[in-house]
Structure 1
Amino acid sequence: MIYEIAQLPVHREKIETFRGAFAEVAPLLSRAEGYCGHFLAQGIETPELFHLIVRWRSLEDHTPGFEVSEDHRMFMMGLQEYFSEEPRVYHIEGSSFFAEC
Structure 2
Amino acid sequence: MILEIAQLQVKPEQSADFEAAFAQAQRIIAAMPGYLGHELQRCVEQAGHYMLLVRWRTLDDHQVGFRQSAQYQEWRALLHHFYDPFPTVLHYEQVAL
Q: TM-score, normalised by structure 2?
A: 0.92
Residue in structure 2 matched with residue 2 of structure 1 by the alignment: 2
CA distance in 2, matches of 1:22, 1:29: 10
State percent identity of aligned pairs. 36
Q: Which SS does the other structure have where 1:68 is aligned?
A: coil
Deviation at 1:39, TM superposition (A): 0.3
How large is the RMSD of aligned CA atoms in angstroms? 1.4
CA distance in 1, matches of 2:62, 2:86: 18
Cα deviations by residue, 1:22-77 (Å, 9 ceiling, x for unpaired): 00111110000100000000112113111110000011111121111111111011
Residue in structure 1 matched with residue 39 of structure 2 by the alignment: 39
CA distance in 2, matches of 1:49, 1:38: 17
Runs of 4+ in 1 over 6 A off after TM superposition: none
How many residue pairs get aligned? The number is: 96
Residue in structure 1 matched with residue 61 of structure 2 by the alignment: 61
